[in-house]
Amino acid sequence: MAKALNHRKFVFFCILAYFIFLIVMFPLNVAYKLVDPKGLPVQVVAVSGTVWNGDVTLKHQLTGQVLAKWQLNVWPLLMGDIESSFQIESAELNAKLDASYNPLTNNIEIINLNGFVQSAFINRIAKRNKVKMSGNLEISNISIDHSISNTYTNSASGRAVWMGGNVSYPKGRKTGNADLPMLIADFSNKSGELHLDLHTTENLSVANASLKTDGWGSVAILKRMIDLVGEPWPNKASADTAVFEISEKVF
- Average pLDDT (226-242) is 85
- Average pLDDT (81-108) is 90
Please tell me the predicted confidence (pLDDT) of residue 219: 93
CA–CA separation, 108 and 98 (whole Å):
11
CA–CA separation, 185 and 177 (whole Å):
22
- In 3D, which of 82, 95, 111 has the Cα closest to residue 187? 111
| Widest pairwise Cα distance in the chain | 83
**Residue 123 near residue 92 (C-beta atoms within 8 A):** no
Q: What's the gap between Cα 246 and its chain centre?
A: 21
Please tell me the predicted confidence (pLDDT) of residue 165: 92
Which band of pLDDT confidence, cut at 50, 70 and 90, is reported for residue 166?
very high
**Residue 132 near residue 126 (C-beta atoms within 8 A):** yes
For residue 217, pLDDT beyond 80: yes
- Average pLDDT (142-160) is 91
CA separation, residue 46 to residues 27, 40, 55, 116, 192 (Å): 13, 14, 8, 24, 39
CA–CA separation, 172 and 186 (whole Å):
31
For residue 3, pLDDT beyond 70: no
- Average pLDDT (71-82) is 76
In the chain, where do the E strands start and end?
43-49, 53-60, 64-73, 82-89, 93-102, 107-117, 132-133, 137-147, 152-162, 165-171, 174-180, 183-190, 193-200, 205-211, 216-222, 242-249
For residue 170, pLDDT beyond 70: yes
Q: Report pLDDT digits (tens) over 11-65.
A: 655 565 555 555 656 677 777 777 777 777 888 888 888 877 889 999 888 888 8
Classified as helix, coil or strand, 191 is coil
**Residue 120 near residue 134 (C-beta atoms within 8 A):** no
Q: Report pLDDT digits (tens) over 82-95.
A: 888 999 999 899 99
CA–CA separation, 211 and 111 (whole Å):
19
- In 3D, which of 21, 81, 15 has the Cα closest to residue 51? 21
Please tell me the predicted confidence (pLDDT) of residue 13: 56
